Amino acid sequence: MKIIITGVTGFIGGQVLQEAISDSEITHIYTLSRSPIAESLSSNPKVTSIIHTDFSVYSPEVLTQLRGAEACIW
């Protein structure tokens, strides 16, 4: 399962990301954040980190990257 997680630079979002990384049923995680996430998390092969500054508008490029995700944890 591919998922999207936002808020990963905060305490709760970071914990959710760590749980998702350890879940064997989750095959890929797209993170949307305004600032870079910790290298220890972004270097995981399951994680694609996307820096996105305006959550009211999504470019076609971002939407293409997120295509196929089955869940979003906002």
**Domains detected in the chain:** 2-73 (3.40.50.720)
pLDDT at site 26: 97
CA distance 12 to 8: 7
pLDDT at 55: 86
pLDDT in tens, 10-48: 999 999 999 999 999 999 999 999 999 989 888 999 999
Mean pLDDT of 61-68: 94
Residue 6: strand pairing partners? 32
Which positions ≥6 away from 32 have C-beta within 8 Å?
Answer: 4, 5, 6, 8, 50, 52, 55, 62
